């Protein structure tokens, strides 16, 4: 019975990635499937500004967010407030976490991931520099620094500068690639940025920095990605791998698990994702994980 209770608590924590915690504005803790533990999220996009409008996103962009100048000292203080509670009780006083097993509440990373695209922020490089100092300050936790990004801004000079700080010790870029063809890309990510630009940015970034590709496949109004779509996607993955096999750390295939802002978006299901993963592994010698 306790095992099932723990599983239910874990699924509930995975499905609720609220940006709210105590009185914090910028920083929030989540139990992350892909980080495989506690992730300390940093939201640089209170205004919900993003270059994508993904059908599966949980952020409701019809309601604008507040415009607020990024306060790096406040971000630092809020991260410290979470560490203080973590050291005290493992965040078990937080309702969403109290029934989650201790091994799944172990702090794993500080992640730039919020209500929009973090790399849009002019302060991006300065934030990365401060996160590197915080990482060093809490060296006992062997923290990873993670950027979750749609890759549209990875070619900007200030972003490249920030990535140097982020990956200096133990850091990774998780770059989004949800499609192989322009048609599916327009249905899923709904961006004015071309898919080719995203591809080029990922290829150029993996040449210099450790990078994982993160991909969400879903069903949209009854339509699922075709075999041709999956083949085109794998073609793109193969190009990224060839750009720098050493820095290409792997692929994260994941499904819809949280409420989506757009209607008629459903998960593909684990068997379908597993079949895609098998196809990937058959063509590209890279680690593929299904979540």
User: pLDDT tier at 261 (50, 70, 90 boundaries)?
Assistant: confident
Q: Which of 210, 174, 180, 214 is nearest to 196 (CA)?
A: 180
The answer to whether the beta carbons of residues 165 and 231 sit under 8 Å apart is no
Rounded Cα distance, 59 and 136, in Å: 32
In angstroms, the CA 180 to CA 134 distance is 38
On average, the pLDDT of the chain sits at: 92
pLDDT digits (tens, 9 = 90+) for 57-106: 999 888 889 999 999 999 999 999 999 999 998 888 877 788 889 888 99
Look at residue 6 and tell me whether its pLDDT is greater than 70: no
Read off the pLDDT of residues 147-166 as tens digits, 9 standing for 90 and up: 999 999 999 999 999 999 99
pLDDT above 60 (res 12): no
- Evaluate the CA torsion angle 245, 268, 255, 99 in order and state its sign: negative
Give the model confidence (pLDDT) of 234-256 as tens digits.
999 999 999 999 999 999 999 99
pLDDT of residue 99: 85
- Mean pLDDT over residues 154-183, rounded? 98
Tokens representing 210 are 């450790």
Which residues are CB-contacts of 251 (< 8 A; sequence separation ≥ 6)?
212, 213, 214, 215, 237, 277, 280, 286, 287, 288, 289
Mean pLDDT, residues 29-42 taken together: 93
Helices (H) and strands (E) in the chain, counts: 8, 10
Lowest-pLDDT choice from 34-38, 206-210, 247-251: 34-38
Residue pair 225/175 in contact by the 8 Å Cβ criterion = no
Q: Which domains does the chain possess? A: 2-290 (3.20.20.70)
Q: What is the mean pLDDT of residues 107-134?
A: 97
Residues 198-210 have a mean pLDDT of: 98
Q: What is the pLDDT of residue 96?
A: 77
Q: Give the number of C-alpha atoms closer than 13 A to the C-alpha of residue 289, restricted to the C-beta side.
A: 11
């Amino acid at each position: 019975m306790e095992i099932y209770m723990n599983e239910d608590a874990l699924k509930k924590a995975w499905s609720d990635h609220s940006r709210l915690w105590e009185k914090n504005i910028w920083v929030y803790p989540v139990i992350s499937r892909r980080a495989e533990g506690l992730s300390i999220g940093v939201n640089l996009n209170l205004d919900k500004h993003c270059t994508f409008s993904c059908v599966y996103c949980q952020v409701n962009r019809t309601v604008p967010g507040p415009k607020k100048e990024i306060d790096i000292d406040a971000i630092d203080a809020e991260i410290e407030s979470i560490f203080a509670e973590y050291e005290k009780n493992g965040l078990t006083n937080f309702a969403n976490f109290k029934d989650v097993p201790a091994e799944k509440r172990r702090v794993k990373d500080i992640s730039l991931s919020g209500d929009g695209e973090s790399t849009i922020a002019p302060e991006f490089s300065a934030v990365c520099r401060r996160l590197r100092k915080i990482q060093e300050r809490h060296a006992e936790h062997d923290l990873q620094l993670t950027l979750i990004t749609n890759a549209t801004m990875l070619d900007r000079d200030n972003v490249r500068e920030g990535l140097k700080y982020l990956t200096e010790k133990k850091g990774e870029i998780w770059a989004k690639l949800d499609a192989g063809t322009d048609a599916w890309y327009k249905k899923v990510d709904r961006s004015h940025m071309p898919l080719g630009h995203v591809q080029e940015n990922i290829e150029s970034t993996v040449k210099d920095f450790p990078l994982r590709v993160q991909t969400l496949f879903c069903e949209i109004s009854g339509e699922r990605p075709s075999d041709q779509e999956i083949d085109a996607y794998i073609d793109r993955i193969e190009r990224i791998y060839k750009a720098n096999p050493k820095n290409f750390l792997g692929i994260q295939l994941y499904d819809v698990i949280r409420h989506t802002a757009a209607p008629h978006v459903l998960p593909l299901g684990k068997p379908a994702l597993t079949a895609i993963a098998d196809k990937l592994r058959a063509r590209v010698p890279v680690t593929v994980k299904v979540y």
